[in-house]
Amino acid sequence: MSNHQPTLMERRAYCAYGRLQPLECQARCTESKRVPRKPLSEISGNRRRINRSQKPKRVQTGCKLCGVHLCVKQGCFHKYHA
Ligand SMILES: [Zn+2]
Ligand SMILES: [Zn+2]
């Protein structure tokens, strides 16, 4: 019973596996609706934002034994321990 098990964490945080492999963690995030927005970045000069799709998903599940947050539904939990 000393194995790693999915646990509900106290807070939400970025998926630890997603930090290592953002693309794999975000595999299903692309299904969300695309909402076209007008760029409001003109005020901040010529600076452009870095691809924000690189950020991992925020989840409330994780491994208590490792003390890290991991997506359970997307398989990050198993991949992290693989
Ligand atoms: Zn993940
Ligand atoms: Zn673990």
Domain interval for residue 22: 6-81
pLDDT digits (tens, 9 = 90+) for 61-74: 999 999 999 999 88
Is 73 a domain residue? yes
Is 1 a domain residue? no
* C-alpha of residue 57 to centroid of ligand 1, in Å: 6
* C-alpha of residue 39 to centroid of ligand 1, in Å: 28
Q: Please report which ligand is nearest the Cα atom of 70.
A: 1
Q: Is residue 32's pLDDT more than 50?
A: no
Is 51 a domain residue? yes
Per-residue tokens: 81: 């321990």
Is 65 a domain residue? yes
Number of structural domains, the chain? Answer: 1
Other CB atoms within a 10 A radius of the CB of residue 49 amount to: 8
* C-alpha of residue 4 to centroid of ligand 2, in Å: 4
Q: Where is mean pLDDT largest: 16-20, 26-30, 33-37, 41-45? A: 16-20
Q: Which amino acid is at 21?
A: Q
Q: Is residue 26's pLDDT more than 90?
A: no
Q: Please report which ligand is nearest the Cα atom of 24.
A: 1
